[in-house]
Chains A and B, each alone.
Chain A
Amino acid sequence: MSIEVRHLTHTYSEGSVMRTVALDDVSFTVEKGEFVGIIGHTGSGKSTLVQHLNGLLKPSAGEVLIDGEDLNGEHVNRRALRQRIGLVFQYPEYQLFEETVAKDIAFGPKNQGLSAEEIDGRVRYAMDCVHLDYDKYSASSPFELSGGQMRRVAIAGVLAMKPSVLILDEPTAGLDPRGRDRILTMLEELHAREHTTILMVSHSMDDMARLATRLLVMAEGKLLADGTPREIFSRTEMMKGAGLDVPAAARLCQALRDRGIDLPTELYQADELRDAILRLWRQGKEATGC
């Protein structure tokens, strides 16, 4: 499933004093199996953008094409499409409502009109995806769980619809390091195993460095840059201009380069930086002979 965004513009409260342009002529295409990170400062239009991708918001101008078909066309069944493009909102745990975890996860598949066995299978599959033990948790109330667990139940609720595209808005916001690592690992597995196309909005450049195969940089409603993490993270100045940080490893690399150590510019992963430093260090040792 490919997503093509063409000249997408969105204005809130058109024709009033509260009028704000949230998206301004944004265009890009996402192919199947990509892991796209969307980064940008608060208010840069990221959340507005992702809500357009499954038709929850209508563009003021421009269009969103899913497999070449206009999402906002007249004869499109948006409800069915929404189930193929799973959207996980910010703080999704606030949307939980059922008495048990299993029932809550079943809400999506139930709306798809699946059979009872199929629904049960989907619930088991989704709980497995998010590393929640079915026997242990399926019958407990979602409101008794920890914040991180609730978040995973909410994500499972979207995964149970087996979407071909998964969009996540800040899936790790407000979680402790372990909860965050769990979610990221889960996404990594999902991407590797099912080749699900994933779009993720995040403030954490380290998360992005770990997962994304491509990055979209948003600033003031515009698409500022589009490229591989390596390209994007080496453009330190552009990132600073957009009010963004670069991953810790890229920052360290830059600091070392500023002190005259001969490292390549495009390093952003912790382990590749470590290898590069070790290589330099060994060369240095050989050169001085000690």
Chain B
Amino acid sequence: MLTNITMGQYYPVDSRVHRLDPRIKLILTIAFIVCVFLASNFAGYILLSAFLFAVCRLSNVPFKMLLRGLKPLRIILILTFLLNLFFTPGDDVWVSFWIIRITREAFLQALFYSLRLMFLVAGTSLLTLTTSPISLADGLEILMGPLKKIRFPAHELAMMMTIALRFIPTLLDETDKIMKAQMARGADFESGNLLSRAKAMVPLLVPLFISAFRRAGDLAMAMESRCYHGGEGRTRLRVLKITKNDMIACVIMAAFIAMLILAGRFIPF
């Protein structure tokens, strides 16, 4: 029922991409995001898709999973495409009737903007698909470490993120269970107008909130009873180490960025 949410869901298989150091993977993801904005022509986008596809293959995550993460975005994607298509000014007119005017420039911009959005989401979901929430938060905490000097609560933020991510599947399961329990009592979540549907959510949301608060209380107690008192002096079970694998990944990324820039400069379409 609620299994089609991929964003932020870890896909637990082993691969070179999974084994990358989370810090490196975060930096590489940011680099990839920059790349998405660097691409300015067809050649660039072809390179981006090839790169994404290759990394996906290397990570043993089915390409389907990546596409599934794009599904919730379809409305935004269509809107982006249409708005850009109709409202971008240009000279090379393709279609023109009534108030609609489609130009070549508009079409290209619409296409590129929607592709850009897709790549952004696909690239970042590849990060979360191949990195367990815990190592992701670990990586973030270390990367944000220098900010601690200006009193930025890096550890607390990372811990909050770990907990939030950790509870997404739990709360989804819980939602599924409560939904089924209320359906067993004849609740109807699927039909009716907007108002009656919103009202039908009450039997679902009240128990869900109560259980979330109960879980939060339990977790706080469990952490406290294991002497958790914030990040000060806390050591790690898994000390992160940069391996040869990580170096190779960095080199590949650098080469890719160079290729992308060259493609933008020297390939005319």
Contact = CB atoms under 8 A, between A and B. Distances in A.
Contacts of A108: 185-186
Nearest to A109: B186
Contacts of A54: 184
Q: Is the interface of B mostly helix, strand, loop or mixed?
A: helix
Interface string A247-262: 0000000000000000
Interface string B203-231: 10011001100000000000000000000
A204 interface: no
B188 A143 contact: no
B179 to A, nearest CB: 9
A143 B206 CA distance: 12
Interface stretch (A89-97, A117-125, A191-199, A210-218): A89-97
Contact of A83 (B62, B174, B186): B186
A137 interface: no
A89 B186 CA distance: 14
Nearest to B174: A94
Contacts of A95: 178, 181-182, 203, 207
Given A17-B13, A95-B178, A56 B184 contact: yes
Interface string A1-21: 000000000000100111000
A17 B186 contact: no
A87 interface: yes
Contact of A89 (B3, B180, B203, B206): B180
Contacts, number: 61
A234 interface: no
Given A17-B11, A94-B178, A111-B188, A56 B207 contact: no
Interface residues of B, number: 23
A40 interface: no
A94 B185 contact: no
Interface in B138-157: none
B186 A112 contact: yes
A19 to B, nearest CB: 12
Nearest to A143: B210
Interface size bracket, A side: 20 to 34
Given A95-B207, A97-B206, A158 B178 contact: no
Contacts of A143: 210
A79 interface: yes
Given A97-B202, A97-B203, A79 B188 contact: yes
Contact of B187 (A86, A92, A111): A111
B15 to A, nearest CB: 12
B17 to A, nearest CB: 15
Contacts of B89: none
19 contacts: A54-B184, A56-B184, A82-B186, A83-B185, A86-B184, A87-B181, A87-B184, A92-B181, A94-B211, A95-B203, A97-B202, A97-B207, A107-B187, A111-B185, A112-B186, A143-B210, A157-B185, A158-B185, A161-B185
